[in-house]
Structure formats: structure tokens, C-alpha cells
Structure 1
Amino acid sequence: MASIQLFALVLIYICVFFTLCLAGDPFVYYDWEVSYITASPLGVPQQVIAINKKFPGPIVNVTTNNNVVVNVSNALDEELLITWNGIQHRRNSWQDGVLGTTCPIPVGWNFTYQFQVKDQIGSFFYFPSIKFQRASGGYGGIIVNNRAVIAVPFGPPDGDITILIGDWYTQNHTALRRALSAGKDLGMPDGVLINGKGPYQYNRTLVPDGIDYETFNVEAGKTYRIRIHNVGISTSLNFRIQGHNLLLVETEGTYTVQQNYTNLDIHVGQSYSFLVTMDQNASTDYYVVASARFVNESLWKRVTGVGILHYSNSKGKAAGPLPDSPNDFYDKTFSMNQARSIRTNTSAGAARPNPQGSFKYGSINVTDVYVLKNEPPVTINGKRRTILSGISYVNPDTPIRLADWFRLKGVYTLDFPNRPLTGSPRMSSSVINATYRGFMEVILQNNDTTIQTYHMDGYAFFVVGMDFGEWTENSRSTYNKWDGVSRCTTQVFPGAWTAILVSLDNVGVWNLRTQNLDSWYLGQEVYVRIVNPEATNKTELPIPDNAIFCGQLKDRKQPPHNTVKSSSPSVSDRRLSRQFFNLLMLLFAVISMFR
């Protein structure tokens, strides 16, 4: 009897041991080859950047706390980096995929990104971050689903649809960046793409024959979650679906106060998700429209993206004129008020059970204040450049985070000013030296003539205020200190300011940039360096084993870099193999005991 009891206890121990071995957050794996293909989204054959021969690339569909492993093989003819727009990379700026943290993936090499979508939900996207490559594609959507145990503030939708919109040129990215480097403007885009396709022929004069357009198949009476991302270069777009309301429910990881819109301005780099109920006459199709904002519409008519919403039992084509966009070319107040109306749903949870509104940001003392002011392009040392606070950023040959890790000197400077410089603008690798666990206020002052959107890697920030004119200390009296939306990309209207608050709890080196690709390419960015001063720093993951070295570190031993998928087992596979071996040894010992 005692032997049976002992045997039972040992079996229980084995089960517990096995459960612990297999416990932990799941891994999700992707293998990508990034290469050129020929496509004709606007009827003109051109070279675009594809992932696994697809343009746009595949959707990364994961769940909160998943570990994401993406093996990227660079089959382009130039270096490559992929950045994960809105993914916070907790304690892991090594995986951010920008030049301040990571050396580019050389031609013919591969690099495996590994990061966790820790305590995140929502709608994001990825794209190539260097050499103006996003202008040729290489982008795709990211969906981070809630865990099943966490309540969502709306019923389960009947389907999930990702829509990538953006302005597009029939010249590829190399020609566009040559034009920028030569001091030229890009000029008006050739069109707007929806999921990599051109417009439906709603007008034979404006849209030629033979254009492939996107169709979204739906069923009458059902409700779909539609995730919209503006992946374009520099054009703000207005999104709308003929005859249908857009119920806004989430933006860039935050559940919002649920409001119906007939149309919404989506600026470069921004992401939203809506619930759309198919409650219209199901016998016809409907237009899905993305059109340029704040432009002369008589000149920009051809720069309109049009797709088709197709009911399963539809018998007729979409008809009539396109649904109207707001008519406020000379007055951007409507759009600003629309932006102000987007607020956090403080009664909803997010990735964790506690309500996201419980973070009382309005009562936290600010430790750092930075006024980042941009202006129209300037000439510095004979080159056309863009600036933030009088500084046009120059990427050093050695990434900032690598320079810190190996204690290299002179790679960058920690002298970025809190207030805009008053002298002549300069080119520099100047970095913001932020306070770990501080609470930073950033005022984005746009003295240019076009809308700019700004993004901060590694963080979501609270958008607490925006208005026309110059920001002053008195502007704080207008801040929303309770339910300002938390997101990672915000618009700044021309001749206006936007104020954000961010809690600096994520160590690393993080990119703060304009999402407008032309302005970014010419220097409108800065890095925020957040270092834990403790002697034993356990708040950041160590440098990855597969780190690529460049600049002053180029002679260090490099990781294996062939683009052929390795047949050797992954780290996860090896860990499971060891656990299985230990289990077998334990079972062998138990069997021996009872012989």
C-alpha cells in the first residue's frame, strides 16, 4: 500500500514537473523573405517590396504576451531593417528595428527578431524603416488579440478585416530618395492604394481601364471589426464607407469611448479599428474610400483610393458619386475637433484586468519638459534638411544602443535642448537624456505648412492637448487630465501644437520621429535614451546572441547570416528537448524503484 501511495506521489510530482516545464507564454513563428516583385497597382509596372512574394506583406496575428519570432531574410539589393510600429518591446529596444538600436541587415543576410507583445492589445503595423523603403511597400498589419480571460468592451465581431491605405508614387523608393537628396519636393502622389491595389473605376476619366481594386466580402446583418492603417508617405487621408457608420472602438492599443463617425481623418502612421454593421440594402455594393485631406481637390481628384464593400447577395454595382469628405481646405478646425473627440474608454480593461483608466496621469508630477519645434525644410551645409528644435538628426555609423553596451565614446551627444535653439540650425547626433521612471511632457510645435504626425517607439503616450498658435505655459490650463487617448502616433496641425505625457518606465534607446517619410528621411527625428542608474540593471534584456555589428564594431565576430532557413533546432525546440529528456530520466528512475 505504501508503495502504491509513493508511486502516486511520484506521478503527481512528474505531472507538476511537466506542467512547469511547458508553462510560459506561447511562441509564434514567422519566416519572411523580403524581396522585389513587379506589380502595377496604378496600371504602371514598377518594382515593389514584397514579403514572401506578397504585397502588402502577411498579417502578424498574435495574442497578448505571445513571444513573436520573425526570421527576416534580406533578398533586396540594399540593407534592410523592419520596425514594429506601436509594439512596445518591453525592456528590449534591441528588437526595435531602427538605426539607433540595430545595425541594418546586409544584402543576403538574415536576422531573427524575437520580442514579446507584453501586456498589449490592439491594431498596429510593421514596415521597413530605412532608405525610404516604405515608399515601395514591405509593410503589413499587426493584430494583438486579447487573452480569452480578459473582457473586451464589445461583443465578438463576425469577422476581422485589415485595411492598409496610403499615398503612392509610380516611381520606386530609390528614385524618390534621390529626388529628396537632390533638394527636390516629391510633388503630388500618383494615387492612393487600398491593400496594395489601385482604385475601382468609379470614374472613367480619372481611373483607366485594367486597374485591380480591393473587394471586401461581407454578409448582411453581421458586424465586422475593421482595422485601418495609414502606411503612406506624407498624405493625411479621410476614410469612409458609403452609407455605413464607423463605430470607433480602439486606436493603437487603447479602447476608446465608442462613437459613430461617418468619416475619420487618418494621418500618416496612425491606426484605428471600427465596428461596422452591414445594415444597408444588401442588393448592391458600396464604395470604400480613402481620399487626400487639406489639398486642392480639383487637382487631387485622381489621388483617391476606392475599394468595394460587397454583400454576399449583392446583385448590383456601387453607384452614384463617392461619399463626400469634409470640405475644409482652408479651415482645419473640423479635423482638430474630430481628433479631440477621440478619448480613452476609462471603464474598459485592456491587456490586464484592471481598468486602463485607473492610471491617473493628470495627477503625476512632470519631471522633464521638451518643446520640439519643426519648421519648413532648411539648408544646412548646402543640403536640404528638416529639423526639430534647430537640430537635424544624423544617424551615426554605430547604433546608439550598441555604443552604450560596448562603452564607445564620441558616437553621439546628450545635449538635445529642452527648448528650440535660437541660432543657426545644425546637423548632429544629439540625443535626449531622459530620466528613468520620470514623467515627461513633450510639446510638438508645428511651424510648417503641412500636417506632421509624430511617433515614439517603445511607448504609448497620453495626448492631453492640441490647439492652433504657439504653445505657452498657460496652454496647460486646456489639457485633458482625465481621459486623453493613449496611443503611439499623434497628428500636429500646421501652425498648431500637440502636447503629450509619457511615463518613462521602459529602459532603452527609443526613436521619436515624424511619421511623414520625406521629413523623417531628411532628419526630423531624435532618440530618447532611458537608462536605469542602478548598478545591477535587471530592467533590460541583454544584447541578443544574433546581434549584427557595424560602424566601430564591424570587426567583431558576426552571427551566421545565410538566407537559407536553418535546419538546426530553435532555442525553444532545444529547451523542450532537454525537458523531455529530463522527464524520461525521471520516469526511468521511478520504474527502477518499483522493480
Structure 2
Amino acid sequence: MVASSFLSFLCFCIVFLIPLCIAEDPTAFYNFEVSYITASPLGVPQQVIAINGKFPGPTINVTTNNNVVVNVRNKLDEHLLMHWSGIQQRRSSWEDGVLGTTCPIPSKWNWTYQFQVKDQIGSFFYFPSLNMQRASGGFGSFIINNRAVIPIPFDTPYGDITVTIGDWYTRNHTALRKALDDGKDLGMPDGVLINGKGPYRYNDKLVPDGIDYETITVHPGKTYRIRVSNVGVSTSLNFRIQNHNLLLAETEGSYTVQQNYSNLDIHVGQTFSFLLTTDQNASSDYYIVASARFVNESRWQRVTGVGILKYTNSKGKASGPLPDPPRDQFDKTFSMNQGQINQFGGALMQYGSYSYKNIYVYSWEWWNVSASGARPNPQGSFRYGSINVTEIYVLRNLPPEKINGKRRTTLSGVSFVNPKTPIRLADKYKLKGVYKLDFPTKPLTGPPRLETSVINGTYRGFMEIILQNNDTKVHSYHLSGYAFFVVGMDYGVWTENSRGTYNKWDGIARATAQVYPGAWTAILVSLDNVGVWNLRTENLDAWYLGQETYVHVVNPEPNNKTELPMPDNALFCGDLSKMQKPQDISSAKSFESNGSMLLLTIFLLVSALFYIYQ
């Protein structure tokens, strides 16, 4: 009888308790040691930010619905926050890694990020979000793969290649920050890096000898998926591979209708995913090029990133001139046409009662609505164009201007001031006066002002945001926590009549959209993710000087189960700094061992019972 009871209990442990350890979504663990190293990507020794001694940092490679745990040890001499750009972090802005929602990680401390990549796929990147630190490195790629039961809308590629591109200064982020604080422009970058490396010496006069360049080795006759992120400071880049087509397949989590490009503009903060078929002969290697856009090319010729695509059976080095960039320095419509063709145009081509000229102007990148995303339903099947808009914000930027004697940037006349106590923490502890829910719905008509002014978003509302760029350069705008629909784009000033050009059928959903100088871009976003979410320009200089705000989304229901609770390892700062314990607060070890500890507990319990009943 005793033996029978013990066996029954043992079966209970095996059948019911052990599955609890493994039934949850898998967890991927990463350890990031963030430190300075010396590197010479452009031939000049300088201080860069490395992760685990590497520049760029390691690729985070996970699958839809995985839990992600990243233990960050800050070995810099200043505060640090890691931001997961484009990762929606459903129900938890606590882990977003921007100053308005999270206290920074002090120097020499650990902190552990814990979040789930819920119902999301695609190509993204991460970076340090504070004080221009991305200008010194600390960035890397972030891939979220489809679950095995969800097919991708193309044959499985032979290989997967991640590429980071970006403009680069030989001055580190602290020097760049000081220049901005002193009221100066950053000036022309010193070069463009590809995967943290300088240009191949394609020109002896422009490129000094001895620079380490990126080489990507491929097999002939194969198809590769190549994911390209612009992680730079403020320069739009044109990406191309000599003699090869780039078949656009996905952008920031949305599969697109596949289109071939010989080159494509990738703006700051954006990520695109291409299919690259290695169908050329191997008489020589091929150039990989990332060059500056919307600039005086004669002055910026040296600001060009060059790598090498090398076939395994290649017979020689790449030679000759680089493949040509778009020749449109004085034609401002080319890039917009290209951008529109690859972001919101399918519906206009399909439904268009438009002239050929207008189709050319307004066609853009459109969704592959027959493809499945993270879930088994087709992308876009919820028909965003039929949802009633409940909130409208027209956000206008301007060139930097003086406010209280300091050079600042603005959105709608407001230059954002980060509070000492993060907004979400102030909410939790009911602190008053930390911020104001009064961000203007239209640009202010009076003088610009310094404010911690936040957009009051209605939970489950549907917001239309018009981004009006009155600056002289391209800006990219990013909204954390969400994928928004890019529905319109044109030159000039947005008016109510501009809605007649919107694509309300199959506009792309993404997290970062470009706005050309003297132009506007319209986005629609469903406010279904509770939290406090950063809305900003990705141009680091303008972001640092105040061109950002937050969208505050609160579930008014008394029992708010739509947001995850404040994490146990939350940091305290500002008005709550006295609550912070002065020790290392990493929780990675305990979090990682939860499953193992449960199994160990069961084992010890069963062993004890077995001993008792012997």
C-alpha cells in the first residue's frame, strides 16, 4: 500500500509538475559585457563601445514567442541603457531601455532585461540609447524567426547574413556630445562602416592603406537572406552590391511584396531584409557599397563604406569603379518614388483612379497580405483602413533653434526634457509634477519651449500621426512598442485633403519611417499596447537635443491585466533614488535557474519520500 501510494505520487510529479518546467515558451539567455575597447575602423585608433569585446556586438537570434533574458554588465564610465529597436515588448515598457521609462544602469552595475518577443517576426537591431552612445558602437542585429509551423513566403535561404551600416566619426560619442552642447553641428562624418569595418581600398587616394574591411563569403548558385540595418548617426545611405539584384522581402517584421532593386536607400534606424542570389560568374569579387545620400557627392566622396562579396570560387579581386549611386542630387523625387514604391503603393496601383504620374509619385512599399507573420493569419487581414481614427497629431520639426540661450530641436514647438524620475516609475508611485499629459495636437504658434510634455494616448484608440519635416535633411521617426501603418507620403505641407492620397488597403507595418525634407509622412497606429512608449527621430544629434516625446497608454479598467507588473529588479532614481539598494542587482542567475530549481526541488522531494518509505 505504501509502495503503491509512493508510486502514485511519483507519477503525479512526473506527469503534472515536470511539464510545468518545460511547457512555457522557451527562453534565450544572453550575457552582455559592455565596455570600451580601442579600434581603428577608419585607420585612426579610437575608443569604441564593444559587447563581450566585439564591435559590433553579437547577433540576438530567437524565435517568435521566445522569452529573452539579457544580463547587461555596464563597464563603461557612465550610465547605460540598452534599447531593442522595433521589438514591441508587448505589455512591458519597463524593459524598453529608454530614459523616459527606465532608470539607467549605473557604471559597474549589472541589470537584467527580461521580455518576450510575442507574436513578432523580422529583422531589427539593438543599441545603447543614452547620450549619443550609439555613435561609438554598442549595437548589433536582432533576428526573430518564424516558428516552424508558420511558413515563410519564400524558399528557405541557403544562409542568413546580417549587415550593419552607418556613418561614423573618429571622435567618440563624448566629443560629439560636447560639440552639440556647445551649439555646434557635428559636421560631415569621417566615413561609413560596414559591420564595424572601414572601406576596402577601391581608390588609393580616398582610402588609406591598412584598413580592415568586411568580406562576406558566399557559394555560387545559392540564395541568401541578407538583413541590413542603418545604425548610424544621421546619414541616409544607399546600399548596393555590384552586379547583383536585391530582392526586397521583409522590413522590420512585415513581409513585403517581393521586388528587385539594384540599390535601395536605407535611412537611419531602418532595417530591410533582401534575398540575394549568387548568380554571377566568379571572375572576380564584387563590391558591397553603402554611400551617403542627399549630400554634395563631390565633398562626401570619401564618406563611403565598401566591403567585398567573395564567391568561394572567385578568381580575382574586385576592381574598377564602384557601382553608381542614384544620380539625383538635384532631383528630390527619386528617393521618395523609390520609398513609395517599396512601402505603400500596391493598393494605389490596384485601385488607382490616378494618372500614371500620381501612381509614380504615390506608389510605395506594400504588404504581402497573403504571407503569414508570427501568427497563422495573413498579415493585414484586420483591415486597418476601416478603423475609425480617434486621435490626430500633427508633429512638425524645425531646424535647431535657441531656447533659453541653448541650441535645441523641437517637435511641434516642444523640446523634450527627460525627467529625473522616469514616467512609468512616477506613475507606479503616484508622483506628481514629473510630466504633463499636454502635448499639442498641432504645432504651437508661440515661441518654442522646454517641457516634459507627453501624448495622452487612449487605450484601444486609433491614432493618426502626421510627421511634417521642415528641416533641411531627412529624418527617420520611430515609435517604440508598436508597428504602425505607413499610409501616406508627399512633398509640401500636409492638409486635410492629403488624406485622399492615403493607402488604406495594404500599407506596410513597420516601426521606423523616413520623412524627407520639406515633406510629410502619415502613419496610423492602433494603441493596443499599454505602457509609456518613446516617439523620436532616429537622427542622434536631433534626438539628443530634444526631438522626442512619449505616448502614454493606460488601461482605465480597475484590474489592469494588460500590462506586466514592474519587474522585481527595477532600478530607482530621481525622486525615488532613496529606494535603490547600493549593490549589484542582477537577477539573471535566479531567473535562468527557475526551471532547474523546480526540477531539483521535485527530485529532492521524491528522494526524501523514497528514503522515508524504505
**Normalising TM by the smaller chain, what interval?**
over 0.9
* Number of the residue aligned with 1:284: 284
Task: Name the CA distance, whole Å, in 1 between partners of 2:393 and 2:109.
Answer: 39
CA distance 1:300–1:412, change in 2 (3 Å) = same
Secondary structure in 1 matching 2:534: strand
Q: What amino acid is aligned across from residue 230 of structure 2 in structure 1?
A: N
* Number of the residue aligned with 1:361: 384
* Number of the residue aligned with 2:88: 88
1:31 Cα deviation after fit? 1.0
Task: Name the CA distance, whole Å, in 2 between partners of 1:25 and 1:249.
Answer: 27
Superposed, which structure 2 residues align to 1:309-328 within 5 Å? 309-328=309-328
Secondary structure in 1 matching 2:18: helix
Q: Which residue of 528, 531, 535 corresponds with 2:558?
A: 535
Secondary structure in 2 matching 1:258: strand
Is the 8 Å Cα contact of residues 513 and 526 (structure 1) preserved in structure 2? yes
CA distance 1:14–1:392, change in 2 (3 Å) = same
CA distance 1:32–1:13, change in 2 (3 Å) = closer
Task: Name the CA distance, whole Å, in 1 between partners of 2:283 and 2:327.
Answer: 30
Post-superposition CA distance 1:162-216 (Å, at most 9, x none): 1100000111111111011111111111000001110000000100111110000
Is the 8 Å Cα contact of residues 573 and 580 (structure 2) preserved in structure 1? no
Is the 8 Å Cα contact of residues 220 and 311 (structure 1) preserved in structure 2? yes
Post-superposition CA distance 1:272-330 (Å, at most 9, x none): 01000000012310000000001111111000000000000111111221111111112
Task: Name the CA distance, whole Å, in 2 between partners of 1:154 and 1:569.
Answer: 39
1:583 Cα deviation after fit? 5.7
Superposed, which structure 2 residues align to 1:170-189 within 5 Å? 170-189=170-189
* Number of the residue aligned with 2:601: 581
Paired residues, number: 590
* Number of the residue aligned with 1:448: 471
1:576 Cα deviation after fit? 3.2
Is the 8 Å Cα contact of residues 459 and 506 (structure 1) preserved in structure 2? yes
Q: What amino acid is aligned across from residue 205 of structure 1 in structure 2?
A: K
Secondary structure in 2 matching 1:518: helix
1:586 Cα deviation after fit? 5.5
Is the 8 Å Cα contact of residues 412 and 430 (structure 1) preserved in structure 2? yes
* Number of the residue aligned with 2:487: 464
* Number of the residue aligned with 1:514: 537
Task: Name the CA distance, whole Å, in 2 between partners of 1:354 and 1:361.
Answer: 15
Q: What amino acid is aligned across from residue 516 of structure 1 in structure 2?
A: N
1:357 Cα deviation after fit? 2.2
Task: Name the CA distance, whole Å, in 2 between partners of 1:9 and 1:173.
Answer: 61
1:554 Cα deviation after fit? 0.6
Secondary structure in 2 matching 1:356: coil
Superposed, which structure 2 residues align to 1:15-54 within 5 Å? 15-54=15-54
Task: Name the CA distance, whole Å, in 1 between partners of 2:154 and 2:607.
Answer: 48
Q: Which residue of 482, 498, 504 corresponds with 2:521?
A: 498
Secondary structure in 2 matching 1:272: strand
Q: What amino acid is aligned across from residue 245 of structure 1 in structure 2?
A: N
Matched, 1:346 2:378: no
Task: Name the CA distance, whole Å, in 1 between partners of 2:90 and 2:582.
Answer: 24
1:582 Cα deviation after fit? 3.0
Superposed, which structure 2 residues align to 1:228-377 within 5 Å? 228-341=228-341, 342-377=365-400
Superposed, which structure 2 residues align to 1:59-78 within 5 Å? 59-78=59-78
Post-superposition CA distance 1:538-588 (Å, at most 9, x none): 1111111111111100101327427xx88x942341343224423664687
Matched, 1:382 2:405: yes
Matched, 1:570 2:593: no
Q: What amino acid is aligned across from residue 259 of structure 1 in structure 2?
A: Q
Secondary structure in 2 matching 1:98: coil
1:250 Cα deviation after fit? 0.4
1:338 Cα deviation after fit? 1.2
* Number of the residue aligned with 1:476: 499
1:425 Cα deviation after fit? 0.5
Is the 8 Å Cα contact of residues 200 and 212 (structure 1) preserved in structure 2? yes
Is the 8 Å Cα contact of residues 21 and 598 (structure 2) preserved in structure 1? no
Q: What amino acid is aligned across from residue 576 of structure 1 in structure 2?
A: S
Matched, 1:224 2:220: no
Q: What amino acid is aligned across from residue 297 of structure 1 in structure 2?
A: E
- Deviates further, 199-208 or 329-338: 329-338
* Number of the residue aligned with 1:144: 144
Is the 8 Å Cα contact of residues 283 and 311 (structure 1) preserved in structure 2? no
1:5 Cα deviation after fit? 13
CA distance 1:573–1:390, change in 2 (3 Å) = same
Matched, 1:135 2:158: no
Secondary structure in 1 matching 2:500: helix
Task: Name the CA distance, whole Å, in 2 between partners of 1:56 and 1:554.
Answer: 33
Task: Name the CA distance, whole Å, in 1 between partners of 2:207 and 2:544.
Answer: 31
1:332 Cα deviation after fit? 2.1
- Deviates further, 417-426 or 10-19: 10-19
Q: What amino acid is aligned across from residue 103 of structure 2 in structure 1?
A: C
Secondary structure in 1 matching 2:260: strand
* Number of the residue aligned with 1:418: 441
Q: What amino acid is aligned across from residue 269 of structure 2 in structure 1?
A: G
Task: Name the CA distance, whole Å, in 1 between partners of 2:602 and 2:9.
Answer: 18
* Number of the residue aligned with 1:556: 579
CA distance 1:434–1:71, change in 2 (3 Å) = same
Q: What amino acid is aligned across from residue 92 of structure 2 in structure 1?
A: N
Is the 8 Å Cα contact of residues 418 and 452 (structure 2) preserved in structure 1? yes
Q: What amino acid is aligned across from residue 425 of structure 2 in structure 1?
A: L
* Number of the residue aligned with 2:191: 191
Task: Name the CA distance, whole Å, in 2 between partners of 1:160 and 1:59.
Answer: 11
Post-superposition CA distance 1:249-290 (Å, at most 9, x none): 100011111111100000000000100000001231000000
Task: Name the CA distance, whole Å, in 2 between partners of 1:161 and 1:355.
Answer: 26
Task: Name the CA distance, whole Å, in 1 between partners of 2:68 and 2:14.
Answer: 29
Is the 8 Å Cα contact of residues 452 and 491 (structure 1) preserved in structure 2? yes
1:368 Cα deviation after fit? 0.4
Q: What amino acid is aligned across from residue 203 of structure 2 in structure 1?
A: N
1:590 Cα deviation after fit? 8.7
Matched, 1:545 2:565: no
* Number of the residue aligned with 1:164: 164
Structure 2: 5+ residue runs without aligned partners? Answer: 342-364
Is the 8 Å Cα contact of residues 68 and 116 (structure 2) preserved in structure 1? yes
Q: What amino acid is aligned across from residue 298 of structure 2 in structure 1?
A: S
Task: Name the CA distance, whole Å, in 1 between partners of 2:6 and 2:59.
Answer: 51
Task: Name the CA distance, whole Å, in 1 between partners of 2:595 and 2:322.
Answer: 57
Is the 8 Å Cα contact of residues 13 and 602 (structure 2) preserved in structure 1? no
Task: Name the CA distance, whole Å, in 1 between partners of 2:595 and 2:308.
Answer: 48
Is the 8 Å Cα contact of residues 270 and 512 (structure 2) preserved in structure 1? yes
Secondary structure in 2 matching 1:235: coil
Is the 8 Å Cα contact of residues 6 and 610 (structure 2) preserved in structure 1? no
Q: What amino acid is aligned across from residue 146 of structure 1 in structure 2?
A: N
Task: Name the CA distance, whole Å, in 2 between partners of 1:37 and 1:490.
Answer: 33
* Number of the residue aligned with 2:345: none
Structure 1 vs Structure 2 CA RMSD:
2.0
1:27 Cα deviation after fit? 1.0
1:117 Cα deviation after fit? 0.6
CA distance 1:52–1:10, change in 2 (3 Å) = closer
Post-superposition CA distance 1:103-157 (Å, at most 9, x none): 1111111111111111111100001101111110010000111111111101111
Secondary structure in 2 matching 1:501: strand
1:19 Cα deviation after fit? 2.3
Task: Name the CA distance, whole Å, in 1 between partners of 2:250 and 2:64.
Answer: 15
Q: What amino acid is aligned across from residue 582 of structure 1 in structure 2?
A: I
Q: What amino acid is aligned across from residue 403 of structure 2 in structure 1?
A: I
CA distance 1:579–1:77, change in 2 (3 Å) = same
